[in-house]
Amino acid sequence: MRIPAPLRALRAALVPLGACALTLGGLGAWTASGAAGHPAEVTASGARVLLPFGTDDTAAFVRLRNNGDEDDRLLDVDAPSADGAMLSRTVTRNAVSHMEMVQSAVIRAHGSLTMSPHDLDIMITRPPRLRLGDRLPLVLTFARSGVVRVTAEVVRPGNG
């Protein structure tokens, strides 16, 4: 018995369609179970900014935590009420320290990064007039987590 051409075509299409449906169902179940992992999710806390002397530039420090299963990268920093902000690092060579601009910083999956006066920080250029206890908004931009906003409390130098 000869099978008509339209039925042969339908039968030939059923195999790849079935395989595709089975694959999508399996991937959906894998993702729903949590086995597929979670994207990078960076949070910021403990933000503080050093009380500047007069109109001097100052530095801000933030604790970053990545609760996701992927590494993330801090790409940009901003202090909207200041003239500018940049990611910088204190580098010591031959007992001499100096600041170097940093393009980005990695926050590992399930890891953290704590900025400090002795390593990575946010250099704030021409901040607004600040007093102890004031708050300075910061905007951090990450490759995967997007924009994270945090408010830094003004503290005395030595408490950074």
Q: What pLDDT does 98 receive? A: 83
Task: Give the model's confidence band at 104: pLDDT under 50 very low, under 70 low, under 90 confident, else very high.
Answer: very high
Note the pLDDT tens digit of each residue in 50-86.
999 877 899 999 999 999 999 999 999 999 999 999 9
Checking if the pLDDT of 126 tops 70, the result is: yes
Q: Is 42-155 in CATH node 1.10.150.240?
A: no
Range 99-115 average pLDDT: 95
Per-domain boundaries in the chain? 1-36, 42-155
Note the pLDDT tens digit of each residue in 7-57.
676 667 667 777 767 777 766 665 565 555 788 999 999 999 999 987 789
Q: What pLDDT does 116 receive? A: 93
Instruction: Express as a percent the part of the chain with pLDDT over 70.
Output: 83
Residue 73: other Cβ atoms inside 10 A: 16
For residues 90-109, one letter each, b for 16 or more C-beta atoms within 10 angstroms of the residue's C-beta and e for the rest, the string is eeeeeeeeeeeebeebebeb
Q: What pLDDT does 69 receive? A: 94
Cβ atoms of 52 and 66 within 8 Å: the answer is: no
List, in sequence order, every beta strand (DSSP E) within the chain. Answer: 42-50, 58-66, 72-78, 84-93, 96-101, 105-107, 112-114, 120-125, 135-142, 146-155
Residue 12: other Cβ atoms inside 10 A: 9
Among 86, 85, 82, which Cα is nearest to 128's?
82
Contacts of 73 (CB under 8 A, 6+ apart): 104, 105, 106, 107, 142, 143, 144
Q: What pLDDT does 56 receive? A: 86
Strands 135-142 and 105-107: unpaired
State the average pLDDT for the chain.
Answer: 87
